[in-house]
Amino acid sequence: MKVLIIGGVAAGTKTAAKLKREDRSTEITVITRERNISYAGCGLPYYVGGLVENREALIINTPEKYAELTGVEVRTGKEAISLDADKKQVTVKDLFTGEEEVCTYDKLVLAVGASPAELLIPGMAQQGVFKMRTPDDAAAIRSYMEENQVKKAVVIGAGFIGLEAAENLKNKGVQVTVLDFASQLLPNILDEEMAAYVKKHLLKEGIRVLTGTKAEEVVGSGKVTGLKTSAGFLGCELLITAAGIRPNTEFLQSSGLEMSKGTILVDNTMKTSLEDVYAAGDCVMVTNRITGKPQWSPMGSSANMEGRTLAQILTGTRKTYPGVLGTGVVKLPGLHVGRTGLTQQQAEAAGYEVVTVLVPTDDKAHYYPGAGFFITKLIAEKETHKLLGVQVLGTGAVDKMVDIAVMGLNMGAVLEDFENADFAYAPPFSTAIHPFVQAVHVLLNKINGALVSMTPAEYAAGKAKGYKVIDAGLAPSIHGARYVDLSAVQGEIEGLDKEEKLLLVCAKGKRAYFLQNRMRFYGYKNTVVLEGATFFNDVKVENPEGAVSLEEEKRVKALGFLKDKNTLDKFNGRVITRNGKITAEEARTIAEAAELFGSGEVTMTSRMTMEIQGVSFANIEPLREYLMQAGLETGGTGSKVRPVVSCKGTTCQYGLIDTFGLSEEIHERFYHGYSAVKLPHKFKIAVGGCPNNCVKPDLNDLGIIGQRVPMVDMEKCRGCKVCRIEKNCPIKAAKVVEGKIMIPDNECNHCGRCIGKCPFKAFENYTNGYRIYIGGRWGKKVAQGRYLDKVFTEKEEVLSIVEKAILLFREQGITGERFADTVARLGFENVQEQLMADDLLSRKEENIKGEKHLVGGATC
- Taking residue 291's Cβ as centre, other Cβ atoms within 10 Å add up to 17
Fold classified for 129-243: FAD/NAD(P)-binding domain (3.50.50)
Q: What is the pLDDT of residues 204-231, one digit of tens each?
A: 898 999 999 999 999 999 999 999 999 8
Where does 714-763 sit in CATH, by number? 3.30.70.20
Burial 485-516 (b: 16+ CB within 10 A, else e): ebeebeeebeebeeeeebbbbbbbbbbbbbbb
Q: Per-residue confidence at 856, pLDDT binned at 50, 70, 90?
A: confident
For residue 470, the model assigns a pLDDT of 97
Higher pLDDT, 442 or 567: 442
Mean predicted confidence (pLDDT) in 370-391: 97
Mean predicted confidence (pLDDT) in 348-359: 97
Question: Which residues on adjacent β-strands are paired with residue 715?
Answer: none
**What are the residue ranges spanned by the domains of the chain?**
2-115+247-314, 129-243, 334-448, 454-536, 550-629, 645-706+766-849, 714-763
Q: Per-residue confidence at 746, pLDDT binned at 50, 70, 90?
A: confident
Which of 66-70, 335-339, 699-703 comes out lowest in average pLDDT?
Answer: 66-70
Which of 33-42, 192-201, 393-402, 527-536 comes out lowest in average pLDDT?
Answer: 33-42
Q: What is the pLDDT of residues 130-179, one digit of tens each?
A: 998 888 899 999 999 999 999 999 999 999 999 999 999 998 989 999 99
Which range in 740-754, 815-829, 842-856 is most confidently predicted, on average pLDDT? 815-829
Multiple choice CATH, 550-629, 3.40.50.150, 3.40.50.970, 3.30.70.2500, 3.40.228.10: 3.30.70.2500
For residue 592, the model assigns a pLDDT of 96
- Taking residue 275's Cβ as centre, other Cβ atoms within 10 Å add up to 11
Fold identical between 2-115+247-314 and 129-243? yes
Bridge-based pairing of strands 335-341 and 387-394 is antiparallel
Is it the case that residue 859 has pLDDT exceeding 80? Answer: no
- Global pTM reads 0.86
Mean pLDDT of the chain: 94
Q: What is the pLDDT of residues 22-39, one digit of tens each?
A: 999 999 999 999 887 877
Residue 506 annotated as catalytic: no
Which residue out of 42, 694, 720, 748 is catalytically annotated? 42
What is the rounded distance in angstroms from the CA atom of residue 341 to the CA atom of residue 406?
Answer: 8
Which of 15-29, 141-155, 283-297, 543-557 comes out lowest in average pLDDT?
Answer: 543-557
From residue 105, give the alpha-carbon distance in Å to each of 2, 33, 375, 742, 857.
5, 19, 51, 90, 76
Listed in sequence order, the residues at least 6 apart from 221 whose beta carbon sits closer than 8 Å to its beta carbon are: none
For residue 851, the model assigns a pLDDT of 87
Percent of the chain with pLDDT over 90: 83
Mean predicted confidence (pLDDT) in 621-642: 92
- Geometric angle at alpha carbon 445, from 192 and 505, rounded to 5°: 60
Q: What is the pLDDT of residues 790-828, one digit of tens each?
A: 999 999 999 999 999 999 999 999 999 999 999 999 999
What is the rounded distance in angstroms from the CA atom of residue 476 to the CA atom of residue 534?
Answer: 12
Q: Per-residue confidence at 542, pLDDT binned at 50, 70, 90?
A: confident
What is the rounded distance in angstroms from the CA atom of residue 639 to the CA atom of residue 430?
Answer: 32
Where does 454-536 sit in CATH, by number? 3.40.250.10
Multiple choice CATH, 645-706+766-849, 3.60.15.10, 1.10.101.10, 3.90.1200.10, 3.30.413.10: 3.30.413.10
Q: Per-residue confidence at 686, pLDDT binned at 50, 70, 90?
A: very high
- Taking residue 669's Cβ as centre, other Cβ atoms within 10 Å add up to 16
Q: At the fourth CATH level, which superfamily is domain 334-448?
A: FAD/NAD-linked reductase, C-terminal dimerisation domain (3.30.390.30)
Q: What is the pLDDT of residues 564-603, one digit of tens each?
A: 999 989 999 999 988 888 889 899 999 999 999 999 999 9
Mean predicted confidence (pLDDT) in 772-800: 95
Domain spanning 2-115+247-314, CATH class: alpha beta
Mean predicted confidence (pLDDT) in 118-132: 94
For residue 330, the model assigns a pLDDT of 96
Mean predicted confidence (pLDDT) in 469-494: 94
Centroid of chain to Cα 655: 36
For residue 133, the model assigns a pLDDT of 85
Is it the case that residue 628 has pLDDT exceeding 80? Answer: yes
Q: Please tell me what DSSP assigns to residue 644.
A: P
For residue 544, the model assigns a pLDDT of 83
